Chains A and B, each alone.
Chain A
Amino acid sequence: MNKPLLTIGISLALSVPLAAQAGAKEDFNEVYAKAQSTHQDAGNFQWTTTTDRMKAAKTSAESGDYDKAASMARQALKLAQESVAQRKQQQEAWRNAAIGN
């Protein structure tokens, strides 16, 4: 991040990182919420790896590292989307492997 100019008042200098922080936080919140709802959509086909990434995202957010938190949440979202795809696919595909069906 660019160093704020000295001529800019100290309050403004503080507000720059705060504003950036706010953007990252918003970004995180949005992705995290989406990951969470997609993870729910997986029903009883949830993946532990999704849960792990969600936890890691939350931990990073709590420590204020919203960039890392958002990155973890994005990974969680992608994993959750695959688990939902698996759930949908298995609704029919399970029969292909079943004895007596």
Chain B
Amino acid sequence: MSAEEDCVMRKGLISVCLTTLALSATAPVFAEPTQADIDRGKELAFSRKDGNCLACHKMDDGKLTGNIGPELVDMKTRYPDREILFKRIWDETQFNPMTVMPPFGRHMILSEEEINRVIDYLYTL
């Protein structure tokens, strides 16, 4: 169960959980992702109702990709700091106010856990 779901399930902890989420909106220490984590990340990145990254980014073996954003390659070289990458997916408008990239975390399009799986996958590109 993700942290977010956990918060949602428990009664009376909403404000506590919201605070926790806001404070923990950074990547904690990471163990090596499993293949299942990476697969899940790809699924989230490609799915239209979740990440839908292909709408704007050319990446991997994605078909009919958009070209609004840059191609997602060499992610580890471009974003050596996982925490920065996390923050940019969480809310790119904090880095570039004119961006059209949705603030995936802030607007709850993806949960913290889901963004982390997407990053696990992005780091394989």
A contact residues vs B (CB 8 Å cutoff): 27, 49, 67, 70-71, 74-75, 78-79, 82, 93, 96-97
| Contact of B84 with A by CB under 8 A | no
Contact: A71 with B8, CB < 8 Å? yes
Collect the chain B residues with CB atoms within 8 Å of residue A82's CB. Answer: 106-108
Chain B residues with a Cβ closer than 8 Å to the other chain, count: 10
CA–CA, A90 to B108, complex, Å? 18
**Chain A residue, CB-CB nearest to B14:** A74
B98 near A78 (CB under 8 angstroms)? no
Interface residues of B (CB under 8 A from A): 8-9, 11, 14, 18, 97-98, 106-108
Contact B106 A27 (CB under 8 A): no
Residues of B within 8 A of A96 (CB): 97-98
With contacts A96-B97, A96-B98, A97-B98 taken as known, whether A74 is within 8 angstroms of B8 at the C-beta atoms is yes
- Select one of B9, B11, B18, B97 contacting A78, CB under 8 A: B18
Q: In the complex, what residue of chain A is closest to B98 when comparing beta carbons?
A: A97
CB closest chain-B residue, reference A96: B97
A75 touches B98 (CB 8 A): no
What are some 7 contacts across the A-B interface (CB < 8 A)?
A67-B9, A71-B9, A74-B8, A75-B108, A79-B107, A82-B106, A96-B97
